[in-house]
Amino acid sequence: MVSTTARFGNAIGVFDSGVGGLSVLRAIRAALPHEDLVYVADSGHAPYGDQTSAHITQRTLTVGHWLAEQGVKAITIACNTATVVAARSLREQTHLPVVAIEPAIKPAVALTRTGVVGVLATRQTVQSESVARLCAQYGQGKRIVLQACPGWVELVEQADLHSARTEAMLRQFMEPLLAQGADTLVLGCTHYPFLSSAIQAIAGPDVTLVDPADAVARELARRLSQTTPSRAPAPGTTQFLTTGDVDQVQQTVAHLWGPQAKVAAWASN
Ligand code: DGL
């Protein structure tokens, strides 16, 4: 059982449905090398993308409130699905800065030369009102094709990034977009950057992949510079917790982050 005292005082809390948010965490680590980071992989409740909005909201609030109780100074939602469904609810319920990732439609529209942008994301994300709003606001008359990619999150959770099965599953959802002339693909789920070399190999060198993780890290740094004093120049710590099977998540985190990463069980009280 975890003590209710501020266990992660002054750290930055980062969470996702699973290991995908590590793609955001690495951008945060690069941008803020002196900050302590605590990452929660909500793997016991993943994937979010196939669940109801009520369930995703409940998980986002549960993990967000828990991080706040542990004393974190900011929360990063490293999950597009949780952002488009529940970021507003979390922001309404916490005084902490909440920085959240969402599909990078605006930069993709600026990059396309063919006028066709593909958005690869979870079912919940492509069906969300938030993404419809982003398309309406930033579409500038370009064609934006939204593509749900069920199964891709599970590939990353299993660290299955380069197998024949993975290539077949990537082709299944990429080929319709490429056939429609998409030259810019938004990685609209934080798991997908771990598939980016396989995605790029299928798409070819003329297709641009867009991942907003660096922009999220910059926004987090900007928000922190407004609200908290800067840290002493010692390297920050990085802690990993999961609501899922610790051994299985440990294996995947070691593969995606590095063997030095140690995953512990998350406890809600
Ligand atoms: N990484 C989450 C996202 O960015 C994946 C959601 C899921 O678990 O389906 O959307």
Pick from 111, 99, 123, 87: nearest CA to 12: 99
pTM, to two decimals: 0.95
**Active-site pick, 79, 126, 148, 249:** 79
CATH number of 105-210: 3.40.50.1860
Q: Is 79 a known active-site residue?
A: yes
Ligand 1 touching residue 16 (CB < 6 A): yes
126 vs 149: CA distance, rounded Å: 10
Residue 27 reports pLDDT greater than 90 = yes
> What pLDDT does residue 3 have?
43
Q: Do 79 and 15 meet the contact criterion of CB atoms below 8 Å apart?
A: yes
Tell me, yes or no, if 135 is annotated catalytic: no
pLDDT for position 63: 98
The response to whether residue 183 sits with its C-beta less than 6 Å from ligand 1 reads no
Q: Which of 189, 203, 210, 261 is catalytic?
A: 189
Mean pLDDT of 31-52: 95
Q: Is 166 in the pocket of ligand 1 (CB under 6 A)?
A: no
Nearest atom in ligand 1 to 191's CA: 1
Q: Start-end ranges of CATH 3.40.50.1860 in the chain?
A: 12-101+213-265, 105-210
pLDDT band at residue 8 using 50, 70 and 90 as cut-offs: confident
Query: For the ranges 44-48, 118-122, 147-151, which has the lowest average pLDDT?
Result: 44-48
Whether the pLDDT of residue 2 is over 60: the answer is: no
Asked if the model's pLDDT at residue 162 lies above 80, the reply is: yes
pLDDT of 1 reads 40
pLDDT at residue 152 greater than cutoff 80: yes
Mean pLDDT of 225-234: 73
| Top CATH class, 12-101+213-265 | alpha beta
User: Beta strand 74-77 with 116-121: parallel, antiparallel or unpaired?
Assistant: unpaired
Residues 6+ apart with CB under 8 A from 265: 241, 242, 246
